Amino acid sequence: MAKLTYTLDEEDFISEASKIEFTVSEDMDIYQFHTMCIRMAHAMGYHAKSIERAFGKGHDYPQQSEEDKELIKQLLKG
């Protein structure tokens, strides 16, 4: 399993989440990664319109190539 983690510095005290973590499958494809980034942005408190402008609206994705799958695996491993 791989993890996507957002951690807010301890010195920046606010009333929102200081750590957000998603545990994901290592064979997640780039489109699933895209969806996880959108979820992370929502969890971090970004406005829905800002997220839509940055990531787009639809989730109707074409098939992912094996090269794309390998790239996302490498990104998640660090």
14-47 pLDDT tens trace:
666 778 888 888 888 888 888 888 888 888 888 9
* H or E element at residue 73: helix 66-77
Supply the pLDDT for residue 14: 67
- The total number of structural domains in the chain stands at 1
66-77 helix and 30-43 helix, angle to the nearest 10 degrees = 40
d(CA 40, CA 4): 8
Q: Per the confidence metrics, is the pTM higher than 0.75? A: no
Domain assignment of residue 13, given as a range: 2-77
Token pair for residue 42? Answer: 């929502």
Supply the pLDDT for residue 18: 77
Instruction: Read off the pLDDT band of 78 (50, 70, 90).
Output: low
